[in-house]
Chains A and B, each alone.
Chain A
């Protein structure tokens, strides 16, 4: 890939970049004259009339170029030789002017009469068929429950969802709720349509009544919980979530909702405190690493990362301390260690990293242990540009010899490579590795001494 790139780049000076066949595009990369571009123009010019159209145009055309627009529409006719009639989708203008394709071209004004429901004797089946074909039909003449249900069943049998919904709207308006619900219970397809319609129109109360009638308690709960997405204000959102705890969720989900509430509650407290700390400018960590965003509404793991970053040393008693979060939300060890590691490594607090993995056994010996593979630890440390001295301690702990060698070679942890080959008694590889270390370095000396001693 690199080679081809070089070759292509070397041609660049031959191919002087004349822009003559390039199209002008605006700041957003859309070709000037495209519909999306034009609309953005309207939006921006109506938003700020002071900033003239011209200035934004200039800005755009000077800094952006685009590829020449190739033929913008394809014709399927190219697939079949010998065809000369144009398919209707050739282009908007063709579609409008070519009389041959009138059938499927937009029929813009229809005869008035067609809109009128001049015959009211359509059978349920015909009514449905007419509606499927986009004609307006009055449904008012279906008066009895029996007639209405036949109509609904015909609509379902006709497979057109829009007709089904249209009939349902009519039934919803003309039938008692209880009756409608009862009849829908045995008509699953129609039921789906009504539920979807109510979701879309936001008729929450009726939707909940329906779900309750159907005994779908879990959906009742979820549907109410969903509302929180529309609440911007955090205090109101917290209050709302508090109310959700009592909803008929499964036991498992109730715990999740409870956690959601508790998390937001904590975040509100932490946010208030930290904003204060930050503006006061007293705290070193906030001065050195100003916050990029507020912690409100962030996931738990992000909150934990935040807390490991800004509040690592706090006692368990404070809400913002990592240990408090870990305990409150029963965060598994593995998750905790991963997050704390990432946060402390980002701050280059290598001592904290060491402490995270050091355990003492009952005799007082220390040992490094991790609930995640050490190769992961190495990867995270490396991504945060840990120095070789730190890195090699962890590379050494990678259990699988092959992975260890790979990582050690990749990150130039010479000592680990040399020791591993020594332990493997692999003279050939060791000798080969000798060329990869610096001349006259301690590593070279070490290799020599091993090779000479065995």
Chain B
């Protein structure tokens, strides 16, 4: 609603999500030129500039520069800034940054939810992770609350809400607050989503740090899935072309292998290619009429399947090639030892060598973090020596990365005397969690103890193996990590849903640093429809991985639940750790 010709500036991060829902012809309505925010237009004759951006200070500066430059040059234009997902106290930002000119107006585009698949909704806010967990900034909580409000108005009230983590609690509270006031249309609606489960990413870093071995996770780790689609390069397509493929349940090949352990994918693909061949072979001995039918009805589908099949086979080959080069076997072995708490010395020297050989800066960090979280921090001697070697191998500026990792609690040093922690836990048992929160802050900024070993024991996260774990016929969620580890985040959800409360999990909750809740909506309690009770909205604040999605899909199949995922973004270990690295302004 900015009539007339205009130039449109779009923020880079909004482009992929936009591509999923619109195309240029929709956007280009009366738009003369499209620019990416960051590219300065050299000369533009347009009288109106429209900006579609995330509410960020950096972007505001960019816009302010353009407006100011025009002012200096004596050009007058109209400027419209559309914020997505919401306009945030703009008065505050613009007060400082924008010159007070009357021809700047603001609006918002309430784009909270991007459905990536039948059961995955993403908010496409990867920066949520760093902003909240590292910087302690609550700026996206309102967006989460609004997203919940939106889902609520579409699908009726949730009859039961569970959650764990400070951010989960705050998001829930703010959402309830918004809800009460709006007295929205959801009142009296039949609930379609029975349960909601909110979880902070920092409840479980371990799972996010593990190497993924289910197909979709591996594809994400290897090629990076962006907004539900992936770019397969020439090494996959075995031609000189790159192909962009949408990966979702409509891809008939992918939908059948996405949740499988990588080792069972090969068998499936070869079965599938044999079937395909058989179907083609039916052509022989067909008469004209049958042939006509075949061509008009089946051929197209078969061709499509053929293309998909050869793409996924190519992807598997490429993954195998990359993983063999990286000593994947040895790395997985080390990860499993860390999860189980065996051979810590040996694992430490594996990590050391990994660093010394400059294998990969992110992978080295990942292993160090995994060591730190599973061991409740590195012993000071190891911390110093690994850090020194890391800085020597990958660059001294990573001093800043280490500082960030320490603050967020991903890579910490055990304090020389553990006495402090003993006091800390005793105190936190005695006082309310608000006060405990303050005390913990006083002890050690935002970092928290992970207590992984204790939690793992309590919840039985390391399955006892008698004989070989059959990855083709998984018996529990551990299959997503080759049978070595049940993802903690998913286990918590399983346990709470089973008990319909946190009762009996007190010790686990204490080790997870509390902040759990479970609320039953009184209004809808009387007649919860059976159907809706099986549907659970799993909300991951700070990102969720494809391995977790696969594990919960498995749990759903076993127990008759249907999970829908709402996440601030799809994440994996590399994205999480890259978010900890400082870059130039």
Contacts and interface: CB of A to CB of B under 8 A. Distances in A.
Interface string A211-223: 0000000100010
A365 interface: no
Highest count of chain A CB atoms <10 Å: which of B23, B173, B314, B384: B23
Contact of B135 (A12, A192, A253): A192
Given A15-B303, A30-B244, A136-B91, A1 B320 contact: yes
Interface stretch (A84-92, A353-361, A409-417): A84-92
A163 B107 contact: no
Contact of B246 (A4, A67, A332, A334): A67
B277 to A, nearest CB: 6
A78 B95 CA distance: 45
Interface in A139-161: 158-161
A402 interface: no
Interface string A1-36: 101110111111011000000000100011101111
A80 to B, nearest CB: 5
B403 A222 contact: yes
Given A5-B313, A229-B397, A372-B353, A74 B116 contact: yes
Interface stretch (A103-111, A391-399, A432-440): A103-111
Contacts of B243: 29, 65-67
Contacts of A34: 19, 23-24
Interface string A90-121: 01110000000001111111000000000000
A91 B357 CA distance: 49
Interface residues of B, number: 130
A106 to B, nearest CB: 5
Interface string A182-219: 00000011001101110111100000000000000010
Contact of B22 (A37, A92, A160, A199): A92
B21 A301 contact: no
A160 B231 CA distance: 37
A36 B394 contact: no
Contacts of A137: 91
Given A29-B244, A30-B244, A43-B36, A75 B138 contact: no
B34 A160 contact: no
Chain A interface SS verdict (over half): helix
B100 interface: no
Nearest to B173: A159
A6 to B, nearest CB: 9
B82 to A, nearest CB: 8
A39 interface: yes
B277 A69 contact: no
Given A43-B36, A79-B562, A192-B135, A64 B150 contact: no
Contacts of B23: 33-35
B34 A79 contact: no
Contacts of A300: 391-393, 396
A319 interface: no
Nearest to B43: A46
Given A169-B95, A230-B584, A8 B19 contact: no
A225 interface: yes
Interface stretch (B25-33, B332-340, B472-480, B512-520): B25-33
B89 A29 contact: no
A225 B231 CA distance: 38
A73 interface: yes
Contacts of A67: 243-246, 307
B288 interface: no
Q: Give the interface centre of B245, B399, B562 by most chain A CB atoms within 10 Å.
A: B399
B250 A71 contact: yes
Contact of B89 (A105, A163, A299, A331): A163
B113 interface: yes
A42 B34 contact: yes
B243 to A, nearest CB: 6
Contacts of B285: none
Contacts of B317: 1, 5
A131 B89 contact: yes
A132 B87 CA distance: 10
A74 B58 CA distance: 32
Contacts of A11: 276-277, 280, 306
A259 interface: yes
A10 B115 contact: no
B583 interface: yes
Contact of B353 (A33, A106, A376): A376
A72 interface: yes
B138 A301 contact: no
Contact of A189 (B41, B136, B142, B277): B136
Contact of B20 (A25, A72, A87, A165): A72
Nearest to B325: A383
A40 B107 CA distance: 26
Interface residues of A, number: 116
Contact of B270 (A7, A39, A46, A75): A7
Interface stretch (B65-73, B117-125, B217-225, B495-503): B117-125
Interface stretch (B10-18, B202-210, B414-422, B552-560): B10-18
B316 to A, nearest CB: 6
Contact of A35 (B22, B116, B269): B22
A228 interface: yes
A7 B276 CA distance: 9
Nearest to B442: A188
A315 interface: no
Interface string B264-281: 001001101110110010
A222 B57 contact: no
Contacts of A289: none
Nearest to B265: A1
B88 A134 contact: yes
A238 interface: no
Contacts of A25: 244
A199 B130 CA distance: 13
Interface in B248-292: 248, 250-251, 266, 269-270, 272-274, 276-277, 280
B269 A1 contact: yes
B140 interface: yes
Please indicate which of the listed interface residues B58, B82, B115, B306 has the most CB atoms of chain A within 10 Å of its own CB. B115
Interface of A: 1, 3-5, 7-12, 14-15, 25, 29-31, 33-43, 46, 63-67, 69-76, 78-80, 87-89, 91-93, 103-109, 129, 131-134, 136-137, 158-166, 169-170, 188-189, 192-193, 195-197, 199-202, 218, 222, 225-226, 228-230, 252-253, 256-257, 259-260, 263, 297-302, 329, 331-332, 334-335, 338-339, 342, 372, 376
A-B residue pairs, 5 tightest by C-beta: A161-B138, A192-B136, A161-B139, A166-B92, A166-B89
Given A136-B89, A301-B393, A335-B389, 17 more contacts: A4-B309, A5-B313, A15-B302, A34-B19, A36-B19, A74-B248, A75-B115, A89-B21, A159-B138, A159-B141, A159-B173, A160-B174, A163-B142, A166-B92, A195-B135, A259-B396, A300-B396
24 contacts: A1-B266, A1-B317, A7-B270, A35-B34, A64-B242, A74-B116, A74-B117, A75-B115, A78-B118, A79-B119, A91-B21, A129-B181, A136-B91, A161-B131, A166-B91, A166-B92, A192-B137, A193-B136, A195-B135, A226-B400, A297-B395, A299-B358, A299-B391, A301-B392
